[in-house]
Amino acid sequence: MSEAAPRRIWLCADDYGISPGVNRAIRELIAERRLNATSVMMVGPAIDREEVQALQAVAEAADCAIGLHATLTAPFSPLTMHYHPLHGGIFLPLGRKLRGSLLRRHDRAIIATELTAQLEAFADRFGRMPDYVDGHQHVQLFPQVRDAFVGVVKALAPHAWVRQCGRVQPLAQRLGAPKALLLDTLSGPFRKRAAHAGLTTNPGFAGAYDFSRETDFAALMASFFDGLPDGGLLMCHPGFVDDLLISLDPFTDQREREHEFLASDRFPALLAAHNVTLLRRSDAAAAPSPTEN
């Protein structure tokens, strides 16, 4: 009896461009073929041409996908002059952005203009459109934002796939994780809009957890594989802590714990134990299937 074919997944490191320490950690893992995708923040403070060239070189050698990490929340600033609402010249904090989106208080045209600028900035720095597009703090899923997001990607990068954050586990398992359950709820309408626009989405998602608590990342990784389908996406945030990161993001030490595990011999052993392998950008079958449910 033959063995089952391995599940092929995307293991995506978010936040390239937030700080030199995060960038370096991500590049090291790509070079070691422990990651096969990374999402780039074009509004980040560490995304100059040198950082872009370093990423391009290692990603090309490892056949790794590079995406745009669309960013619309604090403490980052927009690329466009007339973006609003702002708070002290920067995007609104996550909670206020989500609340305003749920109450339909934002302007989709203003959001679309900013997302267009971020996509164009990516194309200018990398010489091409991204392989995929997702959102920092999952803003692409928010009401109003999702309409602008889908429209801009369809117009400028129609061959890119877009990240949805819905899981495939039974409801009883999902109810114990409030953050992930919220992402499930927001992802349903997002998937429908993406499918209607002809955009491809990942068929499964994992990686959300409470970043404010010290956790056993190895155990979390094992749980993330549970139910993740072929073509699914697992989000991660490896990095080295530096002063710039500390000034921008409360998620610091956990990034180093993630990096430590992904760089260790325990990670490939875990992949083998779960019969999981990482996709490659050039794989003709790498693109996930569209989802509409």
Domain ranges for the chain: 7-278
Report whether pLDDT(181) > 90.
no
Average pLDDT score over residue span 105-123: 97
Residue 182: per-residue pLDDT: 87
So what CATH class is 7-278?
alpha beta
Handedness of CA 223, 285, 288, 116 (dihedral sign): positive
pLDDT tens profile 225-283: 988 999 999 999 999 999 999 999 999 999 999 999 999 999 999 999 999 999 999 98
Choose among 76, 98, 99, 101: nearest CA to 86.
Answer: 76
Cβ-proximal residues to 32 (8 Å cutoff; 6+ apart), any chain: 263
Phi-psi region of 228 (alpha: psi -120 to 50; beta: other; left: phi over 0): beta
The fraction of the chain above a pLDDT of 90, given in percent, is: 85
- Read off the tokens for 260: 């430590």
Place of tokens 């702002």: 86
Task: Tell me the HSE value of 16 on the side-chain side, using a 13 A CA sphere.
Answer: 31
Residue 180: per-residue pLDDT: 73
Residue 175: per-residue pLDDT: 54
pLDDT tens profile 18-61: 999 999 999 999 999 999 999 999 999 999 999 999 999 999 99
